[in-house]
Amino acid sequence: MSYVRLVFRLRDLATADDRIWSRRTRVRAVAVVLVVLATGCQSATSPGGDAHGRRPAKNAATAQLLPKDIFAFPSFDFASYQTLLTQLKGTPVVVNIWASWCPPCRREAPLLASAAETHGDAVQFLGVDILDDRTDGRAFIERYGIPYPSLFDASGEIRNQLGFIGIPQTLFYDAQGAIASSWTAPLTTEALRDGLSSVGVPA
């Protein structure tokens, strides 16, 4: 029964001596309908997140610049990237440089997502989305179930300053913040295993 029909039904139940509702009664009935409508709107949420689309990131460390929400996508340049890595010292870090429009990045995404779920308490996984659109980047994260946070670098400065050309690129930082190994190409199971081993994380 629609809310409008509900109101008219209540009116029809009035006694013969009180067929015309008072102004106060009508106001109360409308208020009830509005409360029901508001409750219905508030019940809708994003799958896996709250009403604002937020979703907690799987983090192995705590740092001031480390996003706590996988959909936050804060803008970073190379200087802020280096600052974050300094803040993460004491925890091994796997950095994956990617973009939503990159087919090889799509191929390796499920492997990275699975590895983060398995090892995400011992090593900090971190994405760097470059030369991309934030909306497309968030859709990529949603599609492949990436549980760790990503930074957003619209110009590709972070990759360029690291001396790489093309994507994907994956870097394995040890707990002291030094690059122990890197991989230029879509990750394979063997490459990921070797990279994790290079920073002291048994695969």
The CATH number that applies at residue 157 is 3.40.30.10
Instruction: Determine, yes or no, domain membership for 129.
Output: yes
Residue 52 lies in a domain: no
Contacts of 75 (CB under 8 A, 6+ apart): 151, 152, 153, 154
CA contacts within 13 A on the Cβ side of 75: 5
Within this chain, do residues 37 and 84 fall inside the same structural domain, yes or no? no
Give dist(CA 201, CA 177) in Å, integer: 15
Question: How many domains are there within the chain?
Answer: 2
Do 121 and 184 fall into the same domain? yes
Q: Are 92 and 8 found together in one domain?
A: no
| Selection from 191, 42, 188, 177 nearest residue 110 by Cα | 188
What CA–CA distance (Å, rounded) separates 23 from 20? 9
> pLDDT by residue (tens digit) across 154-175?
999 999 999 999 999 999 999 9
Domain residue limits at 114? 78-198
Specify whether 82 is located in the same domain as 133. Answer: yes
How distant is the alpha carbon of residue 62 from its chain centre?
17
Do residues 126 and 187 both lie within one domain?
yes
pLDDT digits (tens, 9 = 90+) for 21-53: 445 545 454 444 443 334 333 333 333 444 446
Domain shared by 83 and 135, yes or no: yes
Q: How far apart are CA 143 and CA 109, in angstroms?
A: 10
Cα angle value 162/164/167 (rounded, 5°) = 120
Residue 53 domain-assigned (yes or no): no
Residue with tokens 């870097």: 171
> pTM above 0.85?
no
The tens digit of pLDDT for each residue in 118-141 reads 999 999 999 999 999 999 999 999
